[in-house]
Structure 1
Amino acid sequence: MSERHAPRIAMVAGETSGDLLAGLLLDGMQARWPALMAHGIGGPQMVRRGFDAQWPSDRLAVHGYSMEVLRRLRELLRIRKTLRADLLKNRPDVFIGVDAPDFNLGLEADLRAAGIKTVHFVCPSIWAWRAGRVEKIRRAADHVLCIFPFEPELLARHGISASYVGHPLASVIPLVPDRAAARSQLGLAPDDTVLAVLPGSRSAEVQYIAPAFFQAAALIQQALPAIKLVVPAVPALQQRIAEVARDCGVAHRLQIVTGQSHTVLAACDATLIASGTATLEAALFKRPMVIGYRMQGWSWRLMRRKQLQPWVGLPNILCGDFVVPELIQDAATPEALAAATLRWLRARADAPDTLAALEQRFTALHHELLRDTPRLAADAIQKVLGA
């Protein structure tokens, strides 16, 4: 397919992180094919680029491994069935599933079996847990766009075509963040001690994680009374976050901002953060962090059985070491979270060499992930299309 003749694209992106990744992918495809039209399931970043969202991406947001998904299963299956029928009737030139593997891989397998080209963007974490999913990827995807450099070789061992396109966030986040500008934007003073609290972007994460995080924040305030606490939140969760903060006694000292997670991470001295993509964002901002996570007990037990590595947080997985603390499930007590966070907040005075070493590791990681992701992804998609 030539650059002048735009392909018909169908896409599904789940949750906020998938919407961001898909928006950058659309940038690359629209630069290659200016008249490109794309539709499916997406969020505001995709819509801003002209994407026709038949359903919003947050409809796919689920938390945990089993129980939470089961409560939403009927709705998710209905959406997937409706979309599959539409795509089989009005066949796109290529279907691109962005993350959301539990939803996308099954859909991709059905479309591929019907002769529709399929691309999966973001290799499922078969190197971290659920290694058996590799067979599902082989059936589902004509090509996988990988955001970590070691993934294409791993997939090649299983006969799966893949390309490393870099991590889009490494291009979005500057190598040297402007802390002063971020603080000015948030109304913070240059000499304030600032803790960013990120309990997650899903309602169930706020339910399970936010209480421990805000109880920890209360303990941190007792130790550092002048500290400023800032929480970036999606609009739908702001009220709930404010209620949890009030119950934990920190609402009067907490600044909740709409979105702006990158501004908050650029401004902070350290962050108490839920495991997920946000931890990689914090690493790219070169910020010390404490990673915490809690979920429904049965979901945790199921996930733990399938865990393949000793690390949960992306910065630790990519560095191959516990470069930042992880406190997961029962270990994520308010006391432990507060103690680990206080060590980072006091490190500028007590252990500056430790902070400098962490910044160097995160800078090296940033360089490793920095590629022209939109262009490389568009190159790979064009090859899938046989252009």
Structure 2
Amino acid sequence: MRVFIVAGEPSGDRLGGALMAGLKTLRPDVQFDGIGGPNMAAEGLVSRFPMDELSVMGLAEILPRYRALKRRIVETAEAVIDAAPDVLITIDSPDFCLRVARRIKAKSQVRTVHYVAPTVWAWRPGRARKMSRFIDQVLALFPFEPPLMRVGAMTCDFVGHPVVAEAQASDAEVAAFRAETGIGDAPLLLVLPGSRRGEVARLAHVFGESLPPLLDRHPDLRIVVPAAAPVASAVREAVRDWPVKALVLDPRGRTLAEAGALKRAAFRAADIALAASGTVSLELAAARTPMVIAYRMNWLTFRLIKWMILVDTVTLVNLVSDTRVVPELLGPACTAPNISSALLEVMAVPEAQQKAMEITMERLGEGGDDPGLRAARAVLAGMSGDVARP
């Protein structure tokens, strides 16, 4: 069985790695080709080019790199057509992946599976019908998505979110982390300015500016900044200019397992987190760490999204739990004073978010089969034609 698999950013790489592991369990003869990061490489993928070339977010942010991305789209589509795999699996990164799939379907009959349904519940609901022209099957992370994505001949399966299967640090690992970093029993704030260069550039400064009022109220507060490998240098540089001292957790020079264990310990050891908008809110919920979400983007991107958005929150914990308990500061609201106030409010009553985090994890499949294995089963069922229809 030959699978061409494409991911364009770290969250997609994690999904891809888990799916590849599931396929290897169910089909030991599987062979992989495509584009991915370290998690997919650990499962045997040799990426055709560095995945971080595709890690671009935002309508306006894509424009300066359009020609380079267009070249990679053409190159990737031609590689898939030449390889003639049994299935193409594209993971998230719709600006790249769906354009690849469209080109492939125009020239071949390769089966196409897209992992992570686009947020049609949030904006541009017509995307589902457009996708159905060149996508055969969608793998959804959220239980409310399949009815929205089953259009025409396109099927959709809820496979659960991989965050529910990720290991959590033990009490002993948390204690060791606090001891080794010198934090001890002090309150701990995680600051997570994103995994993309553009996010770090836009968020790190305002995140740093928001911290002094917290130290005024909680002088013993310690600040830890887990950095994704592709942006670790940028994070280190940004933190040097902060008005408060922070410890950066740099995964470079560590094995994937070591870096993952360090990050898990930090997430569970934290009393509160300040994070960029995205799937990190689910990682924090899995660790049961209360949070504040804040995000800045290009002005044009923000105005366009605000005009088109159909929901009143983009924070996944709020959406899945059907609550609005996680503070969310987006666009013009993402200012240092607003962030400081929200963090102080959550620190005063951290337990207010606990129920929402429990509901979120339950609805995403916590305690069930590994989502990577569920996704692999869905892919194989789709290839055999054994797919449930609405």
Fold match by TM threshold 0.5? yes
Which residue, out of 163, 177, 189, partners 1:185?
Answer: 177
Structure 2 match to 1:301? 303
Q: Aligned pair in 2 of structure 1 residues 346, 156: CA closer, same or farther (>3 Å)?
A: same
More deviation, 273-282/311-320: 311-320
Q: Secondary structure at the match of 2:223?
A: strand
Q: Give the 4+ runs in structure 1 shifted more than 4 A.
A: none
Q: How many residues align?
A: 369
1:361 alignment partner, one of 347, 356, 360: 356
Match of 1:272, SS? strand
Structure 1 CA distance, aligned partners of 2:171 and 2:10? 24
CA contact (8 A) 1:111 1:117 kept: no
Give the AA of the match of 1:27. Answer: A
1:329 Cα deviation after fit: 1.2
What do residues 129-155 of structure 1 show as CA deviations (whole Å, max 9, x unaligned)?
222212222122111111111111222
Q: Letter of the aligned partner of 1:384 in structure 2? A: G
In structure 2, what is the equivalent of residue 23 of structure 1?
Answer: 17
Aligned partners of 2:41 and 2:312: how far apart in 1?
Answer: 38
8 A Cα contact 2:274 2:293, kept in partner = yes
Q: Distance in 2 between matches of 1:62 and 1:301?
A: 18
Name the SS of the counterpart of 1:86 in structure 2: helix
Q: Helix, strand or coil: the match of 1:140?
A: coil
| Local SS of the residue matching 1:219 | helix
Gaps of 5+ in 2: 252-261, 386-390
Deviation at 1:128, TM superposition (A): 1.0
Q: What residue in structure 2 maps to residue 3 of structure 1?
A: none
2:329 aligns with one of 306, 327, 330: 327
Q: Report the 3-state secondary structure (helix = DSSP H, G, I; strand = E; otherwise coil) of the residue aligned with 2:384.
A: coil
Partner of 1:315: 317
Specify every segment of 5 or more residues in structure 1 that has no aligned partner in the other structure, as ranges: 1-6, 349-354
1:1-387 superposed matches below 5 A: 7-66=1-60, 68-113=61-106, 114-156=108-150, 160-174=154-168, 178-185=170-177, 187-188=180-181, 189-250=183-244, 253-259=245-251, 260-347=262-349, 355=351, 357-370=352-365, 371-372=368-369, 373-386=371-384
Displacement of 1:339 = 1.2
Worse overlay, 20-29 or 361-370: 361-370
Q: Deviations over 1:181-209 (max 9, x none)?
A: 23423525452100000010111101111
When the two chains are superposed, the root-mean-square deviation of aligned CA atoms in Å is: 1.8
**Any idea what SS the aligned residue of 1:11 has?**
strand
After superposing the two structures, state which structure 1 stretch, 17-26 or 140-149, moved more: 140-149
Q: Which amino acid aligns with 1:376?
A: R
CA apart distance, 1:296: 1.4
* 1:351 aligned partner: none
Per-residue Cα deviation, 1:40-75 (whole angstroms, up to 9, x for no partner): 110000001111210122111013222x10111111
Question: Aligned equivalents of 1:234 and 1:374: distance in 2?
Answer: 22
Q: Distance in 2 between matches of 1:258 and 1:69?
A: 27
Alpha-carbon displacement from aligned partner over 1:219-268 (angstroms, at most 9, x marks no partner):
21222121110001123423322332232322xx2100024433321110
Distance 1:276 1:179, change over 3 A: farther
Cα distance in 2, alignment partners of residues 159 and 12 from structure 1? 23
Q: SS at the partner of 1:52?
A: coil
Scaled by the length of structure 2, the TM-score of the pair is 0.90
Which secondary structure does the structure 2 equivalent of 1:385 belong to? helix
Structure 1 residues 236 and 154, CA, compared in 2 at 3 Å: closer, same or farther?
closer
Identity of aligned residues (%): 34
Distance in 2 between the 1:91 and 1:236 partners? 32
Q: Secondary structure at the match of 1:53?
A: coil
Amino acid at match of 1:239: S
TM-score (structure 1 length as normaliser): 0.91
Is the 2:52–2:230 contact (alpha carbons within 8 Å) kept by the matching residues of 1? no
Instruction: Verify the 8 A CA contact 1:117 1:384 in the aligned structure 2.
Output: no
Q: Distance in 2 between matches of 1:285 and 1:385?
A: 36
Q: Which moved more, 1:235-244 or 1:225-234?
A: 235-244
Q: CA deviation at 1:345?
A: 2.0
